[in-house]
């Protein structure tokens, strides 16, 4: 059976990708953020995952407000990085793991989740930035195959935090019942605190961000029990993306070890955070 080797959480701020594209990783404003990811990249190299399940939200590129699925799973052979208005990224396509994707879809339906199935779709910074932060610049090909899970964090009503946490448990079931000896890592992406519009545009909450990085490891049940309104009040309207970290955390054991954690503020009006978790057992 496939083996879940850990969970990774990270912000997916688009300007992080732009900083990498423009060679600004050593610039004074950006160096503290990128230095914080070096231990995580070492962990990835040491653990040698074969597959990355990436939980993220589309930002109006493949889905728009007229058609937004609550949950969707990519079942394609490849996923092309989309042009978000700055030119097509100089990144290779992501190789999909179709067999695991279809197995996940079937497991979700067995557990009363009904995802949209995407057999042809492009992916934006929601997956591009986390993959570059953890796996480094890919060269001609990414070192892992991916299974994308899309979560609606854009159009009201977004899913309940508890439902995302439950999805993580179903994901764990799918991974551990998949007939393979592959090593799988799960990425939960989005956040941390930020709001890009309205009367609180520019809102960041560093104290709550730092507490979240502790609580997602030690008290995930409490975070899963929060209302959606509490996420918006605490982390901002776009900071509600943190419910996607609960999918990653729900896939892990109740007790985990935090191998690495990092926080940087502000990154493009966003509190940017990272965590590397392993099962304590």
Are 51 and 93 a contacting pair, CB within 8 Å? no
Sign, Cα dihedral of 38, 39, 45, 49: negative
Percent of the chain, pLDDT > 90?
87
pLDDT in tens, 226-252: 999 999 999 999 999 999 999 999 999
Residue 78 burial class via C-beta count within 10 angstroms: exposed 0-12, middle 13-18, buried 19 and up: middle
Between 46-50, 60-64, 133-137, 212-216, the lowest mean confidence (pLDDT) is in 60-64
Considering the chain, what is the average pLDDT of its residues? 95
Q: Is the pLDDT of residue 196 over 90?
A: no
Q: How far apart are the first and last CA of the chain?
A: 18
pLDDT in tens, 108-128: 999 999 999 999 999 999 999
- The pLDDT of residue 85 is 81
DSSP string, the chain: --EEEEEEEE---HHHHHHHHTT-TTSTTTHHHHHHTHHHHHHHHHH--SEEEEEE---SSSSBTTB--SEEEE--SEEPBP--SS---S-PPEEB-HHHHHHHHHHHHHTT---EEESS--B-HHHHHHHHHHH---TTS-SSEEEEEEE--SSSSPPPHHHHHHHHHHHHHHHHTSSS--EEEEEEE--SS---SSTTTT---HHHHHHHHHHHHH-HHHHHTS-HHHHHHHH-TGGGGGHHHHHHHHTS-SSEEEEEEEEE--SSSS-EEEEEEEE--
CA 53/CA 186 separation, integer angstroms: 5
Domains and CATH numbers, the chain: 3-279 (3.40.830.10)
Q: Pull the structure tokens for residue 25.
A: 């990783």
Between 82-86, 117-121, 181-185, 220-224, the lowest mean confidence (pLDDT) is in 82-86
Q: Is the pLDDT of residue 86 over 90?
A: no
Are 185 and 7 a contacting pair, CB within 8 Å? yes
Residues recognised as catalytic? 125, 194
Average of per-residue pLDDT across 94-105: 98
Are 31 and 143 a contacting pair, CB within 8 Å? no
- The pLDDT of residue 89 is 83
Higher-confidence residue of 98 and 62: namely: 98
Give the pTM.
0.96
Q: Is the pLDDT of residue 201 over 80?
A: yes
pLDDT in tens, 1-42: 899 999 999 999 989 988 999 999 999 999 999 999 999 999
Neighbours of 163 (CB within 10 A): 18
Q: How many residues does the chain have?
A: 281
Q: Pull the structure tokens for residue 231.
A: 């996420």
- The pLDDT of residue 60 is 85
Strands 256-264 and 272-279, bridge-based pairing: antiparallel
Q: Is the pLDDT of residue 134 over 90?
A: yes
Average of per-residue pLDDT across 78-97: 90
Confidence of residue 143 (pLDDT cuts 50, 70, 90): very high
- The pLDDT of residue 269 is 86
Q: Is the pLDDT of residue 74 over 90?
A: yes
Are 249 and 7 a contacting pair, CB within 8 Å? yes
- The pLDDT of residue 91 is 94
- The pLDDT of residue 138 is 93
- The pLDDT of residue 3 is 97
């Amino acid at each position: 059976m496939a083996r879940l080797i850990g969970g990774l959480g990270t912000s997916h701020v688009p300007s992080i990708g732009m900083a990498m594209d423009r060679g600004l990783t050593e610039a004074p404003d950006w160096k503290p953020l990128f230095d914080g990811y070096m231990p995580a990249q070492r962990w990835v190299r040491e653990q040698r995952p074969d597959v990355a399940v990436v939980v993220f939200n589309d930002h109006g590129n493949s889905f728009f407000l007229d058609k937004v699925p609550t949950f969707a799973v990519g079942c394609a052979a490849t996923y092309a990085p989309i042009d978000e208005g700055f030119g097509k990224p100089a990144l290779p396509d992501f190789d999909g793991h179709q067999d695991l994707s279809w197995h996940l879809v079937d497991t979700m339906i067995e557990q009363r989740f009904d995802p949209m199935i995407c057999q042809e779709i492009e992916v934006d910074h929601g997956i591009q930035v986390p993959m570059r932060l953890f796996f480094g610049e890919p060269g001609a090909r990414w070192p892992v195959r991916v299974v994308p899970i899309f979560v609606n964090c854009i159009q009201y009503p977004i899913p309940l935090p508890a439902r995302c946490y439950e999805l993580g448990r179903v994901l764990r079931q799918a991974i551990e019942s998949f007939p393979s000896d592959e090593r799988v890592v799960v990425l939960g992406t989005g956040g941390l605190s930020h709001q890009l519009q309205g009367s609180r545009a520019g809102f960041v909450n560093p104290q709550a961000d730092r507490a979240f990085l502790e609580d997602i490891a030690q008290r995930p049940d409490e975070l899963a029990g929060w209302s959606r309104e509490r996420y918006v009040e605490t982390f901002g309207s776009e900071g509600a993306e943190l419910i996607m970290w609960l999918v990653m955390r729900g896939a892990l054991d109740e007790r985990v070890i935090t191998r690495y954690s990092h926080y940087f503020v502000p990154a493009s009006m966003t509190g940017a955070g990272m965590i590397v978790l392993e099962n304590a057992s």
